[in-house]
């Protein structure tokens, strides 16, 4: 997809002129849609993904306004190099979208292995913390900025995913609120979106625990209520924009009304 395609966003194509958006998990799904949306709104984009080919495809699809960076958000060293690359290329970061994440196996608490638990928590929660911590000094030095975290409906429910994913996304909600509270006076806003079922491919190739999958079958078969990644990206774009300048610490369901049931 080109920058011409990106400009089809309903958002102002110049709303983010002069700003830099760093987006993790930008190689596919919601992260890729976010990268395209921010570029379409005038931002320069740092498209980060653990898969170098995926990051490169997103960046090349955007064009000169994007930089592809390969990074593992669960690694402190890799995150430091990511932020260093962003600052080295563009001199600043104005928007951080902590979007990188992995699914669990849908295993219930008695059935999940410690290895599975640790991996999901490390990517989904610790990863968001590490990138936030690395970017915050730059936001504070600039006098402010915006963080948009991708949580999940599983961040406010007990029965939308397995134990590890559910706990990790509840943690992202807590991290969002704490960052919003801690740095509001310094001009840093932090909000989270809670996607419902979205066509992202996050579960492609996954092997699900049969007991957990059977228990969660109603969630897994909500085919008529599956969103497109672009619908999530548009909300992230709004939360990062000046139109949301007094929105801080918000946890925003983007689920077609699922959470209202």
At residue 191, what are phi and psi to the nearest 5 degrees?
-130, 170
DSSP letter at 124 equals: I
Question: Is residue 183 flagged as an active site residue?
Answer: no
Tell me the longest C-alpha to C-alpha distance in the chain: 51
Distances (CA, A) of 131 to 5, 55, 116, 240: 29, 17, 22, 17
Q: By three-state DSSP, how is residue 257 classified?
A: coil
Contact 149, 190 (CB under 8 A): yes
CA 148 to chain centre: 7
Residue 23 to residue 107: CA distance in whole angstroms: 29
In sign, the C-alpha dihedral spanning 73, 78, 79, 84 is: negative
CB neighbour list of residue 113: distance below 8 Å, 6 or more residues apart: 107
Place of tokens 């406010």: 156
Residue 41 to residue 238: CA distance in whole angstroms: 11
Contact 186, 140 (CB under 8 A): yes
State the catalytic residue, choosing from 16, 38, 117, 165.
165
List residues with catalytic annotation: 165
């Amino acid at each position: 997809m080109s920058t011409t395609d990106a400009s089809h966003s309903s958002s102002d194509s110049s709303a983010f002129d002069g700003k830099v958006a760093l987006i993790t998990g930008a190689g596919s799904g919601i992260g890729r849609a976010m990268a395209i949306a921010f570029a379409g709104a005038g931002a320069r984009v740092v498209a980060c993904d653990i898969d170098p080919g995926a990051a490169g495809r997103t960046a090349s699809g955007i064009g000169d306004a994007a930089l592809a960076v390969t990074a593992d958000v669960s690694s402190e060293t890799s995150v430091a190099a990511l932020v260093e690359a962003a600052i080295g290329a563009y001199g600043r970061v104005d928007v951080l979208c902590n979007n990188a994440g992995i699914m669990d196996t849908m295993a219930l608490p008695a059935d999940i292995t410690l290895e599975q638990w640790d991996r999901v928590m490390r990517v989904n929660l610790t990863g968001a913390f590490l990138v936030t911590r690395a970017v915050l000094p730059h936001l504070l030095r600039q006098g402010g900025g915006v963080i948009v975290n991708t949580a999940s409906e599983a961040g406010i429910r007990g029965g939308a995913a397995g134990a590890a994913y559910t706990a990790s996304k509840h943690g992202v909600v807590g991290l969002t609120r704490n960052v919003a509270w801690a740095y509001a006076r310094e001009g840093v806003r932090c909000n989270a979106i809670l996607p419902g079922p979205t066509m992202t491919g996050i579960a492609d190739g996954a092997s699900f625990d049969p007991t957990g999958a059977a228990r969660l079958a109603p969630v897994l078969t909500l085919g008529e209520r599956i969103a497109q990644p672009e619908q999530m990206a548009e909300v992230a774009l709004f939360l990062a924009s000046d139109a949301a300048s007094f929105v801080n610490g918000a946890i925003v369901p983007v689920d077609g009304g699922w959470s209202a049931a």
